[in-house]
Amino acid sequence: MSEKNKVIIITGPTATGKTALAIDLAEQFDCEIISVDSRQVYRGLDIGSGKDLDEYCRNGRTIPYHLLDIAEPDHEYNLMEYCRDAEVALAQIIKNSHLPIFCGGTALYLNALLASYTLPGPPPDQAMRSLLRGKPAEELAALLKQQAPDAYEKLKDKGNPTRLLRALEMSTGQSRQVNPIGAAIEPLVIGVYYHRRDVHRRIEERLDSRLASGMIAEVEQLQRNGVSWERLEFLGLEYRYVALHLQGKLSLAEMREKLFIKIRQFAKRQDIWFRKMEREGMKIYWLDEAHRNDAGQLVEMFLGNEKLPPPAFSIKDIHYGPVTS
Compute the C-alpha angle 103/108/111, nearest 5°: 75
Q: Are strands 31-35 and 117-119 parallel, antiparallel or unpaired?
A: unpaired
pLDDT at 1: 46
CB-CB contact of 140 with 131 (8 Å)? no
- Other CB atoms closer than 10 Å to residue 233's CB: what's the count? 18
DSSP states of 31-42: EEEEE--SSTTB
Cα–Cα distance measured from residue 221 to residue 26, given in angstroms and rounded to the nearest whole number: 33
Residue 122, phi then psi, degrees to nearest 5? -80, 170
The beta strands (E) that lie in 78-142 are given as 99-103, 117-119
pLDDT at 178: 57
Q: For the chain, what's the residue count?
A: 325
pLDDT at 325: 46
pLDDT at 258: 97
pLDDT at 116: 57
97 φψ region: left (φ > 0), alpha (ψ -120 to 50), beta (else): left
What residues pair up with 268 in beta bridges, in sequence order? Answer: none
Which sign does the torsion angle of CA 294, 113, 86, 127 carry? negative
pLDDT at 80: 84
Q: What is the pLDDT along the chain (325 residues), one digit of tens a residue?
A: 447 899 999 999 999 999 999 999 999 999 999 999 999 999 999 999 999 899 999 888 999 999 999 999 999 998 888 988 999 999 999 999 999 999 999 988 998 888 755 556 666 666 667 777 778 888 888 888 888 888 888 887 788 887 888 787 777 665 555 556 777 899 999 999 999 999 999 999 999 999 999 999 999 999 999 999 999 999 999 999 999 999 999 999 999 999 999 999 999 999 999 999 999 999 999 999 999 999 999 999 999 999 999 999 999 999 986 654 4
Cα–chain center distance at 17: 14
Residue 262, phi then psi, degrees to nearest 5? -65, -35
CB-CB contact of 33 with 61 (8 Å)? no
pLDDT at 198: 97
pTM: 0.81
pLDDT at 177: 55
